[in-house]
Structure 1
Amino acid sequence: MRLAVRVTPKGGRDAIDGWALDANGRPHLKVRVSVAPTEGAANAAVIAFLAKQLGRPKSALRIVSGETSRLKMVEIEGLDEAEAEAVLGPRPAG
């Protein structure tokens, strides 16, 4: 499964802030992490946080695009839509 994630580094705490739609109406998950975006630290924090929330090993998640951008595409092995919705809430129609 692939998941669009908009990351807010130095967000004060690690948290999921729910779903939103971008300007083109595509859904993305809003995630904040407490670390700064220095040398991949925020990316690592996003992977670790999402893995913990989704009950997956960190090795099952990887950023497939947007490593230097706030909007990232995260691939999660072995996760289906129903499992994701149970943890992250329903994805808005986009």
Structure 2
Amino acid sequence: MQYFDKHGNEIKAGMFLRMEDGSIEEIYACTDSYGKEDLGINASNDEFLKQHGLGEFDREFYPLSSFSLRETELCQSEPTQGYSGMEMK
């Protein structure tokens, strides 16, 4: 399945997406409940995974199809605070 941000840019695994609430999420390749290839964002608690010796294989995802992508946009990995305000790495 293909997904696009508000500017019409195709969203692919490994990219970062600024969500409508301003949060930045990494995009992962995953499968849907029918075993078809899909894209999603992290639904797992990273601390829980670490504490229980679990890895990437145990990670769960929210599929992008669960979100309205009309107000999302591709971005860099994380914002940094610069002298002129919010800047991107």
TM-score, normalisation: structure 1: 0.29
Q: Which structure's residues are more often strand, by fraction?
A: 2
- Tell which structure's C-alpha radius of gyration is larger: 2
Q: Higher helix proportion, which one?
A: 1
* TM norm structure 2: 0.30
